[in-house]
Structure 1
Amino acid sequence: MADTHSNPSPPHPHPHPPSVTVTETDLSSTLVTPQLQQSTETTTTTTTTTTGFNDVVEEKQQVSADTATAASSASSSSTSNKMIIPHNLLSFKEESNKVSDLSDPQRNSLQQLKNLLTGDPKYEVSIWGVPLLKDDRTDIILLKFLRARDFKVKDALTMITNTLKWRKDFDIDALIDEDLGDDFDKVVFMHGYDREGHPVCYNVYGEFQNNDLYHKAFSNQERTTKFLRWRIQFLERSIRNHLHFTQDGVNTILQVNDFHNSPGPAKRQLRIATKQALQLLQDNYPEFVSKQVFINVPWWYLAFYTMISPFMTHRTKSKFVFAGPSKSPDTLFKYISPEQVPVQYGGLSVDFCDCNPDFSMSDPITEIPLKPNTKQTVEIAIYETCIIVWELRVVGWEVSYSSEFKPDAKDGYTVIIQKTTKMSPTDEPVVSNSFKVGELGKLFLTIDNPTLKKKRILYRFKIKPYSD
């Protein structure tokens, strides 16, 4: 695959780029007496110059969702209404795929494995569209099997042999082009890339709350087998379409597992099918996952995780990251830029940009921390006539938002674009707007957080030409 993902580049600099000033006002004094507000509130101002887009302002805080320590059992979690998340193993760091970066014993193991495969007709095949022998991409394939077996050559050879047999029995070559329908398209889908360029796959277990869909997938063994074939087909196509199998390319996928509204342990057939799929993937798709991020994790998943963890290797479990509902967006943003995260998960990305065709996943976002009882004002100074378009959201809202344009001319009139509005979690997740700038001035976007919760502002804007 020739094309590789890279961080999106900003557009060509605008002749007169706007400057952005972010002003933070501490409103905590209002909790004492309203009369003291004017004299005691504190303001912090930061100014940056942009080229039509925005420099990223990141909140310097540790995302703790993936490091929470288990302190009680799942049953006590249910009683106290507090979810305890399993403590992560040592966090996995993806190794280099360059042969020159391997240790001497690892290089020797790779060569030994090649020698064992060479000359045997049963290994003169292709796997994931890559010849198993005598191809520039072969080393990447073989390293996946070696790493899955701790560079034990005989164990890696056995795994390759078993995988080839399973692929033949499962008729993978025919499966690639088989029409299995689109019933499960919302259950599993690819969307965007993470901060390191890995494609991201979302697994949405809550879709199985739909009884009709659950019946189609798990009502009998034949349908369960068809669902597993669909899942394997999806993975095969994703591997061929998104991975490069090159030393400097992207060779793994980041998996996001969403448990929001998941049916839970009561759905026995789903539980069984999940275990079957896990075993198939671990046995036949080694080292294809860079990270497993579990979001909106409910308390009952602890019991399920305890049940399936013995079937997983230590290396597999080291790739796991867990986050409860309140920490899910921040955890995703730790690994995936907000412009690449779907709207339903707290980001600004939509599949086809129907809501705002001016923006796409390649348009970067500015992130600003919003402290409790504070007000942030984003001031964009505009130096020419134009059309400015912007998007803004605060994950979970519970804030007030307003926008206005103030001309620089002393006799100019302030234009209220959107009056101060209380935004609730049930409102539209993203505010999209535009304004025709006929005279020089400043656009003000104001967000007031009256809650005791830390929040995060995401916004981006574009300058477009405008003529009378």
Structure 2
Amino acid sequence: MEMQASAPTPPPSHGGEAPTKKGLVSTLMEATLRSSSFKEDSYFVSSLKDSEKKALEEFKCRLHKSDHFSNAAPDSKAPHVSMWGIPLLGGDERADVLLLKFLRARDFRVQDALVMLEKCLDWRKEFNADGVVDEDLGFKELEGVVAYMHSYDREGHPVCYNAYGLFKDKQMYEKIFGDDEKLKKFLRWRVQVLEKGINLLHFKPGGVNSMIQITDLKNMPKRELRVASNHILSLFQDNYPEMVARKIFINVPWYFSMIYSMFSPFLTQRTKSKFVIARENNVAETLYKFIRPENIPIQYGGLSRAEDVQSGPAKPASEFSIKGGEKVNLEIEGIEGDATIVWDLVVGGWDLDYSAEFIPTAERSYTIAVEKSRKMVYGDAPIHNCFIANEQGKLVLSIDNTNSRRKKVAAYRYVVRKSSSILV
């Protein structure tokens, strides 16, 4: 017997301790709530406005006349200048997706889009961006910690996580950013991570043509990383237009307004419209809105461990919410004797009591305390446990939120198998 995931629970409202004085962070969070999602382009040419179709055709005509293309293959009717293996001229529908990204980034001003594309081609050649994915840049200690791809969102976008709290350590900061050469090498590694994510995109009309970026601001040394952050931001905006469908900031500190004001002049209005803001106490609540819990790393209130990504699609979880002052009992029924039950449980933010017990079906049998009641606090890892049942009965997982007034999101999954066939 294996659980089937229930339909996603709508994200709860953001109640709780609102600050008496509204700052930039609160305003941005409210804006996030007002707009349920960013509307991503479909990239179907047929869905474009007449003016946008005209701009696309004009863009193609100017590309044919561009020195970058006319000098690339003089004997060819369709010069083989390409990006990510996609010829930009010659009728490939994937090329339309790429060209529309540059046009959209410049509000369909053809000349501006052409200049942007030409500069991007020059940069990719100089940087050798096509070969960076296969390079060993020697940042093993940063992999899976500072910047990494991890699973997909609910709509199939690959998700890239960024967390720079590691550089709060002065020694680590000096090791990575101590001089210009080290900074250049780090930027190359960061581009490598991005290129790996782009290789997961479809570049087809109606397909998955962008990714989700999640940036964890916890312990981020804002002053020290200013130079590196500006380089990364400028490099990505200039050379990777419309590659991000949504930018989610989590563990946002009170001083986020200072960080935002530092970056704001470099950001387009369209980029700003993709922002989602989450304070420390509602990280899971925010991420569940966009990503299923089994695909969210455990440190952010999900059920996914790094090793899980290597073993195929994640086992689906059921989502539910726990109101403030409420106690929820999850019952796994129909358990036969000589069966092993394996379960995972996580509550966004925890700060509640948890216990598990097995209740036999037979009247004269005793209830078994599988896990004694204990306080689960913010930062605790998800529950992952198993129990071997020697007789028929049910397993009851108790989540007690009676001492809190805050609603919490949660998820669980389980498998019940004969003990001889279970692998934990």
TM-score by length of 1: 0.79
User: Who is 2:400 aligned against?
Assistant: 448
- Which residue of the partner structure matches residue 377 of structure 2? 424
> Following the alignment from structure 2 to structure 1, what is the Cα–Cα distance between the partners of residues 53 and 418?
57
Residue 463 of structure 1: how far off its partner (Å): 2.0
Within 1, Cα distance between the matches of 2:262 and 2:285?
28
Shift of 1:174: 4.2
Using the alignment, how far apart are the partners of 1:398 and 1:157 within structure 2?
A: 53
Distance in 1, Cα, partners of 2:377 & 2:214 = 26
Pairing partner for 1:154 from 111, 119, 132: 111
In the alignment, which residue of structure 2 is the partner of 1:395? 348
Instruction: Find the partner of 1:175 among 117, 132, 136.
Output: 132
Q: 1:281 aligns with which of 233, 236, 239?
A: 236
Question: Which residue in the other structure is 2:415 paired with?
Answer: 462
Provide the residue aligned with 1:42 in structure 2.
none
Counterpart CA distance in 2 for 1:168 and 1:310 is 28
Paired letter, 1:101: S
Contact 1:391 1:433 (C-alpha < 8 Å) held by counterparts: yes
Paired residues for 1:287-366 under 5 Å:
287-353=242-308, 362-366=314-318
| Deviation of the 1:420 alpha carbon | 2.1
Q: Kindly provide the amino acid, as one letter, of the partner of residue 335 in structure 1.
A: F
Is residue 204–residue 259 contact of structure 1 (8 Å, CA) maintained in 2? yes
- Mean Cα deviation higher: 417-426 or 368-377: 417-426
SS in 2 for 1:118: helix
Distance 2:420 2:134 in 1: 51
RMSD: 2.7
TM-score normalised by the chain length of structure 2: 0.86
Please state if 1:252 is matched with 2:252: no
Equivalent position amino acid for 2:255 in 1: W
Partner of 2:171: 212
- Unmatched 5+ residue regions in structure 1? 1-13, 15-50, 74-82
Asked if the contact 1:84–1:299 (Cα under 8 Å) also holds between the matched residues in 2, the reply is: no
When residues 111 and 465 of structure 1 are mapped into structure 2, their CA distance, relative to the original with a 3 A threshold, is farther
In the other structure, the counterpart of 2:183 is 224
| Residue identity matched to 1:144 | K
Q: Which has the higher contact order (CA 8 A, sep 6+)?
A: 1
Q: Distance between the aligned counterparts of 1:175 and 1:124, measured in 2?
A: 21
- Partner amino acid for 2:212? L
CA-CA distance at 1:465 after TM superposition: 2.9
Aligned length: 401
Question: Does the Cα contact within 8 Å between 1:68 and 1:85 map onto a contact in 2?
Answer: no
- TM-superposed CA distance for 1:343, in Å, is 0.3
> Is it true that 1:410 corresponds to 2:366 in the alignment?
no
What is the percent sequence identity of the aligned residues? 44
The change in CA–CA distance for 1:72 and 1:199 in structure 2 (over 3 A counts) is closer
Distance of 2:312 and 2:378 partners within structure 1? 24
Output the CA distance in 1 between the equivalents of 2:368 and 2:61: 75
Aligned counterpart, 1:58 = 9
SS at match of 2:134: coil
Q: Is it true that 1:107 corresponds to 2:66 in the alignment?
A: no
**Structure 1 residue 52: Cα displacement:** 2.6
Which string of whole-angstrom CA distances, capped at 9 and with x for unpartnered residues, describes residues 105-163 of structure 1? Answer: 22222222222223623463121222222234211111111111112222211111111
Contact kept, 8 Å, 1:70 with 1:86, in 2: the verdict is no
Name 1:46's counterpart in structure 2. Answer: none
Is contact 2:361–2:392 with CA below 8 Å preserved after alignment? yes
Other structure's SS at 1:212 match = helix
Secondary structure, counterpart of 2:218 in structure 1: coil
Contact 2:348 2:409 in 1 (8 A): yes
CA distance in 2, matches of 1:70, 1:239: 41
Matched, 1:117 2:74: no
Is residue 335–residue 416 contact of structure 2 (8 Å, CA) maintained in 1?
no
The alignment status of 1:379 with 2:320, answered yes or no, reads no
